[in-house]
Amino acid sequence: MLTESQYQTWKVIHGYGVFLAFVNFFFGYCIDRLNLTRRQKEISSWSFVIAGLFGGIGRSVLFLLPIQGEYGNYINLVETVGFVIGTFIFVLGQIKVRPAQRLEQTAPAVSELL
């Protein structure tokens, strides 16, 4: 039987695991549409997978075992580095996709639209 505190912690861990699964799913869905090299795609994909494994599974294992202190910091560090690397490469690909618009272009007049 779980105490109230343990139950609340498991709810948070479960929600976080679901969040990580959604991030990995949508990243995998969008990655092929980006203007990135194969190597960049591999690095960012593995970064998110590692972040998901350490954040989802690693956090659950640490909660079950009484060794949370020191190892919890390493889990957080690996997870954060994975997300930062993956997100940086993803944003880089998004920036490459959108060409810069010229600032000299003026908006069409209302009479031109009608």
Task: For residues 59 and 83, give the distance between their C-alpha atoms in angstroms, rounded to a whole number.
Answer: 15
pTM listed for this prediction? 0.66
Q: Which residues contact 22 (CB under 8 A, 6 or more apart)?
A: none
Residue 43 lies in a domain: yes
Residue 103 lies in a domain: no
Say how many domains are in the chain.
1
Range of the domain at 67: 4-96
Residue 63 lies in a domain: yes
Q: What is the pLDDT along the chain (114 residues), one digit of tens a residue?
A: 667 877 787 787 778 778 888 888 888 888 888 888 889 888 988 888 888 888 777 777 777 776 656 666 777 788 888 888 988 988 888 887 555 555 455 656 666 556
Residue 14 lies in a domain: yes
